[in-house]
Amino acid sequence: MTEETQGQVERTLVLLKPDAVARGLSGRVLQRFEDAALKIVGTKMKWMDAEFTRRHYADLEERLGSEVYNLTATFMQQGPVIALVLEGYDAIATVRKIVGSTYPDQAPAGTIRGDFSHMSRGASVTVGKAVANLIHASGNREEAAQEVELWFAKDELFDYKTLAESYIY
């Protein structure tokens, strides 16, 4: 985050992946974001089909290869995901801090991945499965804008005031 983008209200996409949903962690994960005064402005549950998975992970195969893409696609299609759009000051960086490192074994205690998962990259390779890391969070403003637009129509996003906003903002 640059100085020019600090302190701005942002929207970001968060996906509670199939492992988070199947393990019944959705409420506990959502609570972490609300505790940080991030506002939920959109939410839905969706089963990702092959075409939608390809659209969401459009650059993954190019960046990390077809094996990583295929493992990720299979993982994301094994159960429903819960998609959220969160809003708040510096929401993208705040969410990523709360979520923790991509590899749960490297995520500090106190982060979602550090507290609820432990899978390492090595374990992923050994078992031939995607890293079960519970959650996806947009990495930057451009990615967040693209992902929010992919997952949500404008009429599925809401503007409203929370009680916390009167104290925090």
Catalytic residue among 56, 82, 136, 144: 136
Lowest-confidence range among 19-28, 29-38, 111-120, 142-151? 111-120
Confidence grade of residue 74 (pLDDT, cut at 50, 70, 90): very high
Known catalytic membership, residue 136: yes
Q: How far is CA 127 from CA 53, 66, 132, 152, in A?
A: 22, 17, 11, 34
Q: Rounded to the nearest 5 degrees, what angle is found at the Cα of 11, between the Cα atoms of 9 and 14?
A: 140
Give the percent of the chain with pLDDT over 90.
Answer: 79
Residue 5: the pLDDT is 58
pTM of the model: 0.92
CATH match of 9-157 with 3.30.70.141: yes
Torsion angle of the four alpha carbons 91, 93, 97, 102, in this order, in degrees rounded to the nearest 10? 110
User: Residue 168 pLDDT > 70, yes or no?
Assistant: yes
Residue 119: the pLDDT is 85
Hey, is 123 helix, strand or coil? helix
Convert the pLDDT of each residue in 3-20 to its tens digit. Answer: 555 678 999 999 999 999
- Which residue bears the tokens 């199939």? 18
